[in-house]
Structure formats: structure tokens, C-alpha cells
Structure 1
Amino acid sequence: MVELETRELRYFVAVAEELHFGRAAERLGIAQPPLSRAVRRLEHRLGVRLLERDRRGTVLTEAGAVLLDEARSALDAVAAAARRTRRAGTAERPLVLAAKAGASHEVLQRLLDAVEGHPVPLPVEVLLCEVGEQAHLLHQGRADAAIMHRPVDDLTGLDAEDLLTEGQVALLPADHPLAAHEQLTLAQVSNVPDLPMARWPRLDGTYPAGPGPEVRTQSQLAQLVALGKALLVIPASARAWQWPDHVAVPVPDATRITTVLAWPATSRSSAVASLVRTAAHVSASDATTPMLP
């Protein structure tokens, strides 16, 4: 079996991302000749060509593209293991809970209140992030648990406790004709010529096709809606961050969204286990709470 070292994986990733040995060597802070030798040794040990080099430049082979994906994942896993180990050995460290800024505010507040009210309060640090960042924070060991949403968030490699299932609303400019409706259908909000649907990035970072503006943050979206440049269908609980210039109209036929508490499936943290038990209790006690309209 071929054993790979993290150092040579870092070297290869730098070359594969830069596609230039000189730039990769500068990025790594080493001379170019030993970098070239290290990549050649790696190719020899693996028995495959990873890069094609000629006077026109450097390109990845099919095998090189596979190793690039695998090497990134492996390096992330090693870094995450180091972070989790350091965090586990730090006395009185808070549990880091990641959450999308502005999303599931009421659920998050109830969970934090329940944690605070426990006879032995668990110190929790809330790490606010943007859309789609929670999974990376968990896998990288930068967060211990996260508030996420099924089916829109990537829960691969994570365990989860359901907290709330709810409908969605269309967020519209207050002065738009559709804002006067008591409810709307997906068909009505999916094809509004003067108000295109804002486009969030997919899980792979690419954007779906469409005329609407590309957005990455809640603040971008909020201003675009207020300016009459976009609309979006979002979970009803996300209305916590809406502006006075916005109106939220229920969309009953939109996919229902489940807010979950997620954590790495490999976690052995007693603090995470305690948070999950508290979340399950909060979810059970709120089971009869009416959804936001």
C-alpha cells in the first residue's frame, strides 16, 4: 500500500491549483527544484502521471484531478483532527454552535435559553455565518454543532436532530402588487418579469441559471429586495431579519423546510451530546407551537 505524507499532498495541491511550479514554490515558501522533485517522486510512487508539462504550461491529468479532490479532503481532515484535539484538551472551552445569520432566530433563542437554564449551564459560543458555510465549519473542526436546514443544506457525514418543520414565504418589496396577496403559489413567484428570483449558490458553489441577481449574503438579499430588484422564497422563521421595506407572503405549495441541529457523525464530545439532548427536549416541548404564518 502506498502511504502518502501530508507534506507531499500540500506540495501537490499547490502545484495543481496554481498550474505553475514557480508560483506554487513561491506560495509554499520553498525553491522550485525540490518541489519538482517531490512531485516526480509522488508520481513514481503512485505509478501514474499527475501532471502534463510542456512549453505551453502545466495541466492536470485525469488521475491528477482525482488526487486534487482527495488531497484537499485529506488535508482538511488532518487539520480538523488537530483543531478538535486541541479544543478537547482546552479546559472550560465553550461549545461552538454555527448558524446562518438571521435564520431560525426563534429556534436558536429557545435552544440557548434552555441551555442557560440547565442546572449545569453549558458555555456556548454562537458563530454566525453565511448560507452553506455550516457544513464546512463542522467538517473543518471550527464548529462543534450547527443549526442547518433540510433539504437545502448539505448534511453528508453529519447526524441531526429535527427541531422545527415549517412552510416558506415569499419575501417581496412592500410596494410590489404581489405584496398585497394573502398567499401566493410557486408558479406566481417563479416568473415575475419585473422581480426575478434571487439566486443562491448551489452546494458545489455554482449558481443556477436564471435572470435573477446572484447573492451570497443575507444583507445583499435584503437590500436587493428593498430596492425592488429581486424576491426570494425562504423559511417562514427567516422573517426575523426582514426590513420594514419587505413584506413576507406565505407560499403554501413550497417545499417545507426542517430546521435541525447537526453535528459530525464521528463526534464523541460529551458537550455536543448534552446539547443534542437539550435540543430534543426543546423540540418536544415546542411540538404544539404554531408555525409562523
Structure 2
Amino acid sequence: MMNQVHVQELECLLVLAEELHFGRTAARLGCSQSRVSQLIAALERRVGVRLVERTSRRVALSRFGAQFADEVRPAYDALATTLARARERAASGTLSRVRVGFHASVYEELTEAFRRLRGGDDVAMELSEIPWGSPFTAVRDGRLDAVVVEAPVHEPELTIGFRFPPEDRLLAVAAAHPLADAGRVDAEELAGLDVLHPSGDAPDYWTAAQAPRATPAGVPVRSTTGVSSVHEGLARVAGGEYVMLVCRPLSERALRGDVRYLPLDGLGEPSRMVLVWRTDRTNRQLTALAGLLHETFHRTTARPEGHPPRP
């Protein structure tokens, strides 16, 4: 892997190949002639052969040096071009690729916003599923640029760029469960059930929001088992031993013959997904994505929700 010294050595050789003069090479590189000599000598030691032949009258590349310069120039030019593009993107606050994580399923409106952003901004868009119980890890450590996760989000270093419309919370039960034929379920009935919870490194407040630890009346809710994904949870629900809270969009995208989704009354706040990114990595594409989501939901729903990123 090339470090900065290697790049300087290669640049020095390529400039010297053009100028064939140590003084002019030093002037172009903005350094002393002795520094040019040091860089060429260091490169020759790395390669193991003389690259430059120098006399009191002339400077020339050796046969191997000329061949080496010809072979290395395309790679050096490509690296210089990549670095220049990176500087331009950094200066303008843009990305060449936007990576967004999600839980279990993707809103059609999100994929539409991706298509519009990709088409208008020449940017590659990538979607990847993240573990249910680790909503913030990948965006914090930089593996993802943003995530679409369920609220609440109280992390001080994260920005909520867009709030999706609120959705009903449903209770997933096995088709053979005694509650399966009930029209609705009251939140107090959770006290007699074993509710699956997300398993991961999520903050306690977030985990508790996905699997309440008590009913609205204060009766403890049992939750003996954690799952790493919503789909794993639905498989366990189908076995009949557990139940799980889900949002309505998931129930519409994860239809199963062995699972029933029941409206849940009395739990309080509805389910709500949010688009989140690191505040210190806010950039033009992420804010554009939030704006496109806002436009898309205004056009496709009667309940537009969303706001510009908080500072």
C-alpha cells in the first residue's frame, strides 16, 4: 500500500522524466534540488535498480527507469484524478455513493427518492439491511451514511433528517394463537404474553420502545427472548410461543399464512420510522434525500410528515 513518501517519490521521477533537469524538477515540485536527489535515491533503493543516469553535462533516465516511468504514469495519473475528485466532493459536501441501512422492509417512497437522487445527482445509491437490535451502530462507525430506523432517537450525535408518517402498531401472533381470531387486542393483554425484544447494542430506551416492559397500567410484560432481525422474530412468532410488536407497513410486506397481525389499542404513541445520519457528516446528498422524501410523501399520502434536518 503506497504511503505519502512513495507518492512523492513517484511524482518526482515522473517530473524528472519530463524535465531531465534537477533544477527545473525542483522548481516544479516546490522543493530543493537536494530533496529531488533524496527522493530519486529513495525510489531507486525501493526498486533495487538505477533509474536515473546523471553526469556533469546531462540527466537521463536509464532504460529501466524509462520503462518504469512509462508503466507507473497511468496509475499515478489515475490516483491524482481520484484525489482531485475527492477534494472537489469534500469542498462541495457531496458523496459519490450514499449507503442507507434499513430494518426488515423498505418504503416504496424511499426507493423512489433514491431513483430521483441517483438520476439528478449522478450518485450511486446502496441499500442494506441492518440488525434489528443495532439501529445506530453502522451509521456511527461510518459503514453507512444514514439509516431508516424506528423512533425514538435520542442520540446527541445523530440528526433526524426526515420523519415518516406515523403508523399503527400491531401485534403479531401465530395463526393458531388463542388471540388470532380477536378483532383487536388491548395493551393490557400484553401482561399475559411473552413479547420478543430486539437483541443487540441498542440503547435501553430504544429497546423498551420496541418491546414495552410494562402495560400502560404498570403491569410488567414478560420478554424472555431477543431476536436479531424482524424476520427471525416472525419465525419465532409462527411457532406460537411468542408475540411481537410490528408496524403496519411491515405487516403489509411480510404476509405469512402462519402469522396474524392484530390492531393494538391503548399503547400510546404510534410507530414511526425516521431517516437518521451523523450530524458531523451531513452533506448535500443526505439533505437532498430528506427533501425528496418530503416531496414524495406530500404527493403520495394525505398525511405528509417530515422536517428539515435539525442543526
TM-score (normalised: structure 1): 0.59
SS at 1:244 equivalent: coil
Indicate whether 1:198 and 2:201 are aligned: no
SS at 2:179 equivalent: helix
CA distance in 2, matches of 1:204, 1:150: 12
Q: CA deviation at 1:144?
A: 1.0
Q: CA deviation at 1:187?
A: 0.9
Amino acid at match of 2:202: L
Q: How many residues align?
A: 198
- Asked if structure 2 preserves the Cα contact closer than 8 Å seen for 1:169 and 1:249, the reply is yes
Amino acid at match of 1:158: L
CA distance in 2, matches of 1:154, 1:280: 22
Q: CA deviation at 1:164?
A: 1.5
Q: Decide whether aligned partners of structure 1 residues 211 and 284 sit closer, same or farther in structure 2, where only a CA change above 3 A counts.
A: closer
Partner of 2:257: 244
Q: Which runs of 5+ in 2 are unaligned?
A: 1-85, 214-220, 305-311
CA distance in 2, matches of 1:289, 1:268: 26
CA distance in 2, matches of 1:268, 1:215: 31
Q: Decide whether aligned partners of structure 1 residues 220 and 154 sit closer, same or farther in structure 2, where only a CA change above 3 A counts.
A: farther
- Asked if structure 2 preserves the Cα contact closer than 8 Å seen for 1:162 and 1:283, the reply is no
Q: Which runs of 5+ in 1 are unaligned?
A: 1-84
SS at 1:164 equivalent: coil
SS at 1:176 equivalent: coil
- Asked if structure 2 preserves the Cα contact closer than 8 Å seen for 1:261 and 1:279, the reply is no
Partner of 1:220: 232
Indicate whether 1:157 and 2:157 are aligned: yes
CA distance in 1, matches of 2:284, 2:240: 48
- Written as runs of structure 1 = structure 2, the 5 A alignment for 1:1-293 is 93-102=96-105, 105=106, 107=107, 109-117=108-116, 120=120, 122-151=123-152, 153=153, 155-160=155-160, 161-192=162-193, 196-201=194-199, 203-204=202-203, 210=222, 212-239=224-251, 240-254=253-267, 255-288=269-302
TM-score (normalised: structure 2): 0.56
- Asked if structure 2 preserves the Cα contact closer than 8 Å seen for 1:197 and 1:212, the reply is yes
Q: Which has the larger radius of gyration?
A: 2
CA distance in 2, matches of 1:263, 1:286: 24
Q: CA deviation at 1:95?
A: 0.4
Q: Decide whether aligned partners of structure 1 residues 190 and 158 sit closer, same or farther in structure 2, where only a CA change above 3 A counts.
A: same
Amino acid at match of 1:93: S
Identity percentage of aligned residues: 15
CA distance in 2, matches of 1:141, 1:93: 15
Amino acid at match of 1:283: F
Q: CA deviation at 1:147?
A: 0.5
CA distance in 2, matches of 1:132, 1:93: 29
* CA deviation string 1:48-77 (max 9, x = no partner): xxxxxxxxxxxxxxxxxxxxxxxxxxxxxx
Q: CA deviation at 1:131?
A: 1.2
Amino acid at match of 1:187: E
CA RMSD of aligned residues (A): 3.1
Q: CA deviation at 1:284?
A: 2.4
SS at 2:225 equivalent: coil
Q: CA deviation at 1:111?
A: 1.7
CA distance in 1, matches of 2:249, 2:129: 16
